[in-house]
Structure 1
Amino acid sequence: MTNHNETDYVLPGKAESYWIATTPESNYPPISGDTHVDVAILGGGIVGITTAYLLKEAGVPSVAVIEADRIITGVTGHTTAKVTSQHGLIYDRLISKFGKQQAQQYAESNQAAIEKIASIVSSKGIACDFVRKPAYVYASSEESVGDIRNEVDAAQNLGISASFKADLPLPFKTYGAVCFSNQAQFHPRKYLRALARETEGDGCHIFEKTRALKIEGDGPVTITTDKGTIKAHKVIQATHFPIHDKPGMLFQRLYQSRSYVLGVRIEEHFPQGMFISAEEPVRSLRSQSAGEGELILVSGEGHRTGEGNEIDHYRNLEKWIRSVYSVNSINYHWSTQDVITVDHVPYIGRLTSDNENLFIATGFRKWGMTTGTVAAMILTDMILGRSNSWEEVYNPSRFKPLESAKTFFSQVAEATKGLIGDRIVPVHEKASQILPGEGAIVNIEGEKVAAYRNDAGVLHKLDPSCRHMGCIVSWNNAENTWDCPCHGSRYNATGEVIKSPAVYGLHKKNVNE
C-alpha cells in the first residue's frame, strides 16, 4: 500500500485486523419498521453482545442489539485481545486516589471477568483460542523499578496473585516486572460470534447496518434509527463513545486515543506470556497461534485521536520490532481507538441517577476485554434488579477531584482548541497541490475546507466541522479518514460517518478551487 505523502514509507502487510481477516463476516438483517423490546443495546462489540447473551440466559424475553455496521468490527474487532486484570500500573494509583475499598472492587470485578469468559468458553465449547498465560508489566528503565515494586505490593494487598520478576525472557534489557499469573488471551471474534448465535432468536434480535440517530424519553425509551424506530423499557449505550449525553457532562470527561498494531512473524521462539512496558511510548507484545507457527502482535504508539502523523507511528513500531527480533514478515497492520475517562476508570451504570432506564458503558482505556465483560455483568444485574458489589467504583456520576481535576481541565482545553481549529493549519496553500489519494485542510475562498482528491483526480470538498459538536477534523494519512480531535468521531475520505459520537456525515462545501 503506497501513500502519497511526504514519506516514501509503505505500510507493511494487509490493512486489516487479524481477528477480522480470519473469521467470516456476519450477516444479520437491519431493522425493518418499528420494533418493541424489553432491552435495546446500542453497539455490537463485547459489551453489547455479552450483555445480550447474559440477559437472554437470565430469561429476559426480548433483547435487541443495534449495530451501525457489522457486529464485532469496531474496537472489539481491533483489540490485542488480552483477557487480564493487569491494566498497566493501576492498582497502586487506585488505592491512593480511590481508596482500598473501590480498588478492591476494580480488582475483583476484572478477575471475575476472566473467569466468566473462561466459564462461557468451557460450557459452550467455544473454539476461540482461549489460553491461560501470565501477564507482565516491565520496566524499560531503572527509574521505573520503584513503580513496579509498588504495583506488586498494591496488587498483593488486593488479593491478586502478583509477583516481582527480576528477569524476563525478552531479547532486550528490562529492569524488573510485575507478573500476574493465570491471565488469558483469546480470539475475540470467534468468541463473540458464538455468543451472538446463542443470542439471536426466540424474541431476541441482532440488527446490523442500523445506525441509531436519537434517543428520547425515559420509559419507554424511543430510539430513532436510519431504518426504523425501536421502543424499549431499558436502553444501554455500548457504542464506545455515547451518542446521547444529557445533561452533557460526559463529553467533557471522556476523550479518545488511537494506537497501532503490527502482526509479525519472527525467527525466534516467543516466550510464554503477554508483555507491556510501564513507560511511554508503550510497547506491547503477545503471541497468537496462527496456522503454522505464531503471529506476534506488536502494539503501542498511543496518542489522542486527530493529533500526530499516523504513518510515523506504524514506522516507529516496525523499526522497534526489527531492532529486537529477526522479522520474517509483517502480515497485518491495523489501528484502534479507545475511550479514556479523566480518572482512567470506566463509566458503567445509569447515565444519570434520576433516570432508571438509560445505561452506559464506556471508557475502557484499552482494556475492554475484561472491563467490557465487567460492564455486561454489572448491567445485567442492574436491569434484573439484582445488587452488584462492583457498581460503586464504576458509577458514571462519580467525580474524584484528586484523580480527575487536572485531566478534566486538560480535556476541556483540548476540546476548545478543536472547536476553534487552533491546532489545524492548512497543509497546502492551494487545493490544486493535493495529490490523488491525499487529503488536507486548505483555505478556499477564505474558508477552511476538508479537501480529498480521489485516485481519479476528483476533488471532494467538505465542511471540516464535525457533526457532533463542531470541532475541526484532521486528515489521517494512514487510513484516509477525517478524525475529530475533540471526541473521536471519524469519517471516511468523502465525509460519511464511520465512528460515533457523530451520527451524520460531514456537509459538502460548495466553493471553487
Structure 2
Amino acid sequence: MGEPERNDGLPGMAESYWVATSPETGFPPLDGDGRVDVTVIGGGIAGITTAFLLKRAGLTVALLDADRIVKGATGYTTAKITSLHRLIYRDLIDRDLIDRDLIDRFGSTKARQYADANQAGIEMIASLVREYNIPCSFKRKPAYTYAESEDSRDLVAAEVDAARSLHLPAAFVDDVPLPGRTYGAVILENQAQFHPRNYLLLLAGHLPGEGSYIFEMTRALGIEELDDGVRVRTDRGLLSSDYAVLATHYPIYDRPGSYFARMRASRSYALGIRIDEPFPEGIFINADGPVHSWRSQPAASDSELVIVTGEAHGTGKVTDTRAHYRRLDEYARSVYPERIVDYHWSAQDYITADRVPYIGPLAEGHNRVFVATGFGKWGMAAGTAAGMILADLIRGRASPWAEVFDPARFGEQPEYPGWVQKSLQSVGGTIEVNASWFDREVATIPPREGKVIETDGQKVAVYRDGHATLHTLDPTCMHMACTVAWNNAEKSWDCPCHGSRYDAYGRVIGSPTVKDLAGKEVVRR
C-alpha cells in the first residue's frame, strides 16, 4: 500500500517550488531515550530558528519532526518576509473595529510591539544570511497592499496612517506597478523575499553536534509536565528536558483545552507561472475581498517564476478543491493572459481569534512548555521573531515583544468537551450496510478518489485506490472526534474542525492529531 498518485488533472507539477528545488534531508530518527536542555517539536521556521538560537546561546537542543524538516507549512509558503500583513495595523490599534465582547484589541503600545517584532524578524534573517553566506535568493523588495476599488482605497489610506503612527516607514502611492486597474496602495520599503528551504536547511545543518540533535521521522505523541522539567513521548522513545517548545503549526499538546476554540484552519492555493514579460519589482497583496497575492522568484537558467496565491477556505469545508486551483488559474490568466503553469500547491495556516500569533508559555501555570502558532499566513518574519522571543524566555531573559503575543491574553479558558474522549473510545469497529445500496454508493467513487457515505446514522470513509481496491475507514478525526472530509486535489482526508489531515489510507500527515484514522469493516447484508 503506497502513497496515492497525484492525478489531479491540473497543469504543472503538483509540488511546492521550494520543495522541488531544494535537497532532501536524511537526519536519523530518535533511537531510544535521551536528554537535552530543550526539546523543540516542529521543523519549520519557528522551530528551527528557536533551536538554532538556543544552541548558539550554549544550550543543548533536540529538534523533532514527524516527517522531514521544512516540509510542513514553511515548505509551502509564498516566502514573503514582511511586516505589512494586508490591513493589520488599523485593526490592532482601533478597538471599535471588532466586537469587544469577542476579543480585546491591543492599542498602540502592543501594536508597536507587533510591528517591531516583525521588523526584527526581517533583520534577523538578513543578518543570518550575511553571517553564514546562505545561498537562498534573499532580496530586499518593497511590499505593497493595494486597493482594487475606491472603497478599498480608504482602507489602504487608514492603514498608512496606522502604520506610520507605529513608526513604520509606510507611505501611500497612487501608482502600483501591476497590470490592471488599481486605486493606490500602502508601500513599505526594505522588506524581503527568499527561498525558505534553502535558508532553513543551512541553518538546520548547524544544529547537530555538541549534544544537540535533529530527529526526523519521529512523531511526538504527548508531553508530561514535571516539577523540574518535561518528558516528550514519541513513537521512537522518550526525550527528557528542562523545557519543550511546540512549533507544530497547531499544538499537539493542548493541556488547558483552549487552542481548539481560539484558532481556525485555512487552506489556500498557489500557482508558479511563467509570463512573457518581467515581473514588477515588489511583493504584492490586495487590500480587501478574496486574497490575491503576487511575488516573483529567480529560477533556473536566469528565468523567473511568478507565484500567485489565493482562493482561501476553511480546511475540510470544501471537497472539490481542484475548483480552487482552476479559479486561481483563471484569475492569473486575467492579469497575465500569456502564462504557463509550472507548479501548483496548497498550504494550510492557522488564524487566531485576533489575528495575532500565540507565542510564549502554553498557558498560565505551564511555564516549561512554550508554543508558537497561529501565524495567519505571515509566518516568515513572525516565525523568526517567535524564535527570538522563545529563546529569550527560555533563558530567563525579558523580550520586548512578548506581551502582545502572550497566549494567556484571553483570560478564562473554555472547557474541553467531555464527550470527545467517549467518542474516540468507540471509533472503528464494523458497519452493516445493505449490499445493493453500498454497491451503488461506491460505484460513484472513481479510482484515486474518496467519499464519506452514511447509512442508519453511521458513517464510513471509502477510498478507491488505483487498482480499484476499496479501503474503508472510520471518518472520526482522532483529535476531537469531528468528521473528516475528502480533499480531491491533495488526495487527503481533512478535518473541518481543527485542520488535522490524513492521507488516503488514514495515516496522519498533519497535526493536531497524532493518531491515524481507525479502520472500519463493512459488513454487507
Q: Which residue of 2 aligns with 1:294?
A: 304
**Is 2:143 the partner of 1:144?**
no
Q: Which residue of 2 aligns with 1:422?
A: none
Give the superposition deviation at 1:400. Answer: 8.5
Change (3 A) 1:429 1:280: farther
1:134-188 alpha-carbon deviations (Å, 9 max, x no partner): 0000111111111100000010110101010111121111111100000000000
**Cα separation, 2, equivalents of 1:288 and 1:2:** 28
Q: Which residue of 2 aligns with 1:107?
A: 115
Change (3 A) 1:249 1:176: same
Q: Which residue of 2 aligns with 1:21?
A: 20
Supply the AA of the counterpart residue of 2:263. Answer: L
List aligned pairs for 1:306-385, cutoff 5 A: 306-308=316-318, 309-385=320-396
Q: Which residue of 2 aligns with 1:223?
A: 232
List aligned pairs for 1:142-221, cutoff 5 A: 142-218=150-226, 219-221=228-230
Change (3 A) 1:260 1:428: farther
**Identity over aligned pairs, percent:** 53
Contact residue 225 and residue 368 of structure 2 kept, 8 A: no
* SS of equivalent residue, structure 1 residue 378: helix
Give the superposition deviation at 1:429. Answer: 6.3
1:445-475 alpha-carbon deviations (Å, 9 max, x no partner): 7521111100101001100100001000000
**Cα separation, 2, equivalents of 1:452 and 1:189:** 33
Please identify runs of 4+ aligned residues in structure 1 that moved more than 3 A: 1-4, 426-429
Give the superposition deviation at 1:200. Answer: 1.4
Give the superposition deviation at 1:269. Answer: 1.6
1:401-427 alpha-carbon deviations (Å, 9 max, x no partner): 9xxx9xx9xxx9xx9xx99xxxxxx99
**Cα separation, 2, equivalents of 1:236 and 1:189:** 21
Contact residue 6 and residue 14 of structure 2 kept, 8 A: no
**Cα separation, 2, equivalents of 1:331 and 1:203:** 42
Q: Which 5+ residue runs of structure 1 have no aligned equivalent?
A: 420-425
Give the superposition deviation at 1:361. Answer: 0.4
Number of residue-to-residue matches in the alignment: 491
**Is 2:252 the partner of 1:246?**
no
Give the superposition deviation at 1:437. Answer: 1.2
Q: Which 5+ residue runs of structure 2 have no aligned equivalent?
A: 95-104, 425-436
Contact residue 428 and residue 440 of structure 1 kept, 8 A: no
Change (3 A) 1:480 1:195: same
Contact residue 44 and residue 72 of structure 2 kept, 8 A: yes
Supply the AA of the counterpart residue of 2:511. Answer: S
Taking structure 2 as the reference length, the TM-score comes to 0.90
Contact residue 378 and residue 388 of structure 1 kept, 8 A: yes
Contact residue 294 and residue 306 of structure 2 kept, 8 A: yes
**Cα separation, 2, equivalents of 1:491 and 1:390:** 36
1:244-298 alpha-carbon deviations (Å, 9 max, x no partner): 1112011110111000000000012210000001122110000000013100000
Give the superposition deviation at 1:428. Answer: 10
Q: Which residue of 1 aligns with 2:454?
A: 443
Give the superposition deviation at 1:12. Answer: 1.3
CA RMSD of aligned residues (A): 2.2
Contact residue 67 and residue 208 of structure 1 kept, 8 A: yes
Taking structure 1 as the reference length, the TM-score comes to 0.92
**Cα separation, 1, equivalents of 2:393 and 2:439:** 53
**Cα separation, 1, equivalents of 2:501 and 2:140:** 35
1:351-379 alpha-carbon deviations (Å, 9 max, x no partner): 12212211000000000001100110000
Contact residue 428 and residue 441 of structure 1 kept, 8 A: no
**Cα separation, 1, equivalents of 2:497 and 2:353:** 14
Contact residue 351 and residue 396 of structure 1 kept, 8 A: yes
